[in-house]
Amino acid sequence: MGGSKRKRPAVVSNVLVGNGHSEGSHYTDHHGNSHATTSNASNAYTSRIPIVYSPRFAADISDLAIADKNTRDALAYLARKRLIKMSALIPCDRPVSDEELASMGRKGQHAGQEEALVNPRGWSISTGGGMHHACWATGKAMCFFADLTLAVRHAQALRPGIRIMIVDLDAHRGNGYEADLMKDSDAGSVYILDVFNTGVYPPPSEAPSKRAIRKAVPMDADTSDRTYLTAARRALDEAFLEFPDPGLVLYVNGFDVLKGDKNGHLGLTPNGVVRRDIMVFEAALSRRIPICVVIAGGSYMEDNGEVIGDIMAKVLRRCKLL
């Protein structure tokens, strides 16, 4: 690949980076099914530059296309409401090099943490990350770039000795970064709180990565707002008691917890998700702890972008962050 140009797939945004599977290799979807990839980019793979999957491969992943469209529609909704400005978007019709996309992925995650750490108000939101199934060595389950591992490493380099709390409230367990951060968890420099549906991806074969979790909160399918929020609030309070005064909270929020989502299979209402996100924002900001939010599952329900945008708007307004 090295410098070659490839048109960016129209249905996929700048998060499509990965470890460069070869032609004929496989990836695993959220249902645990194995699929053949179509990327032919592996020959030029280096450990420093993630590889962008081919448009044909990207187009084959319909769930990712839905999630990506919902995220972009949510941002467009917020822009129409004049709550954010849309800028620096790369047009789908211009060729974008693999190196440029890889650089965007790194810079976007770096910018999110640095904004949270240095912004006087102490928060930021990244819409191009949260790929919590990807680990340093490989992509998994529609996650191609280990941005959460990178986020931790970048924050550690930026502020040596920083203690980081990861709050993962996506419907799926974050097996990728958890596998990467086991030593950090053992050493007490990273604390992971993960609330997840036990009946969905990842499969039992990924169980070893659970060792990194300091506070695991398993949920059953169709869990209601009340049950979910009660358990999550209790776990969050306990987490800050067990890991007081972290230097940064990385919040993987995920909208695949919404009732009807075909991959998350939980039962939260939009109002329940608003309450969930307010709970996490207030837990961090009331303690004067910077928080960087990454939107993981952009919801796998068709045309759900405005629902997500409305949720984000309500959270930002009620937390007086706008």
What are the residue numbers of the active site? 133
Mapping DSSP onto H, E and C, the string for 145-200 reads: CCHHHHHHHHHHHHCCCCCEEEEECCCCCCHHHHHHCHHHHHHCCEEEEEEEECCC
Handedness of CA 9, 175, 251, 153 (dihedral sign): negative
Rounded Cα gap, residues 293 and 107, in angstroms: 15
> Cα torsion at 252, 178, 139, 11 (round to 10°)?
-10
Please check whether residue 136 is in contact with residue 149, taking contact to mean a CB–CB distance below 8 angstroms.
Answer: yes
Rounded Cα gap, residues 121 and 238, in angstroms: 25
Please check whether residue 194 is in contact with residue 202, taking contact to mean a CB–CB distance below 8 angstroms.
Answer: no
DSSP string, 219-249: E-TT--HHHHHHHHHHHHHHHHHHS-S-SEE
